[in-house]
Amino acid sequence: MGGWAIAVHGGAGVDPNLPTQRQEEAKQLLTRCLNLGISALRSSLSAIDVVELVVRELESDPLFNSGRGSALTEKGTVEMEASIMDGPKRRCGAVSGLTTVKNPVSLARLVMDKSPHSYLAFSGAEEFARQQGVEMVDNEYFVTEENLGMLKLAKEANAIVFDYRIPALGLETCSAGAGAAIDNGLQMNGLPISIYAPE
């Protein structure tokens, strides 16, 4: 049996022109979350408690696409989703379509621990959140100025913002921001690549 191990991610697909300062901010957040998880592991918290603790921290920081700082829908609102799974007995919980739950991963954990189901979504998930007394905030809490700017770019490019596979062309890329992928005939899911743009 080996010792403990932990990994965190903040999303795949990074703007190739991401300013160095933003890269440093991202590394500092990842380091902070790793250290949070490491001290919890050293205090003998179980793996399921540590993953929830670390993802809550990532959701609360607006830097990455989750919780506060989430990507915006075509209507400029936030709809969040999360899941959690405990290896030993393969128990799991998931939520989708959340608009007011401050930490979606903790509601997913409650679905796993306190409901007879493994997945709740939209109004049912929000109702369950109220019953469980989790912290709830207005949808505006999750919306950031930067993401409003990115949504505007995505709409101008008529794109569903995905990740950076083709460095943005034409549209200036804002930090960790959007740009339109050039249409080079590449297909994705049977659709022209141009509908996907860098995240």
Q: Which of residues 104-123 bind other proteins (CB under 8 A)?
A: 104-105, 108, 118-119, 121-122
User: Binding of other proteins at residue 185 (CB under 8 A)?
Assistant: no
| φ, ψ (nearest 5 deg) of residue 79 | -130, 110
Give the nearest distance from C-beta 181 to other proteins in angstroms.
Answer: 11
Which among 18, 48, 55, 19 is positioned nearest to 34, based on CA atoms? 55
**Closest separation in Å from C-beta 46 to other proteins:** 6
Length, in residues, of the chain: 199
Name the pairing type of β-strands 196-197 and 160-161: parallel
Which residue number, 73 or 131, has a Cβ lying nearer to other proteins? 73
Phi, psi torsion values for 93, nearest 5 degrees: -145, 145
**Which residues within the stretch 134-163 sit at the binding site for other proteins (CB under 8 A)?**
142, 147, 150-151, 154-155, 159-163
Instruction: State the nearest-atom distance from the C-beta of 163 to other proteins, in Å.
Output: 5
Q: Which of 2, 116, 170, 185 binds other proteins (CB under 8 A)?
A: 2
The three-state secondary structure class of 25 is helix
Q: Under rule CB under 8 A, which residues in 35-94 are in contact with other proteins?
A: 37-38, 41, 44-48, 50-52, 54-55, 58-59, 64-67, 69-75, 77-88, 90, 92, 94
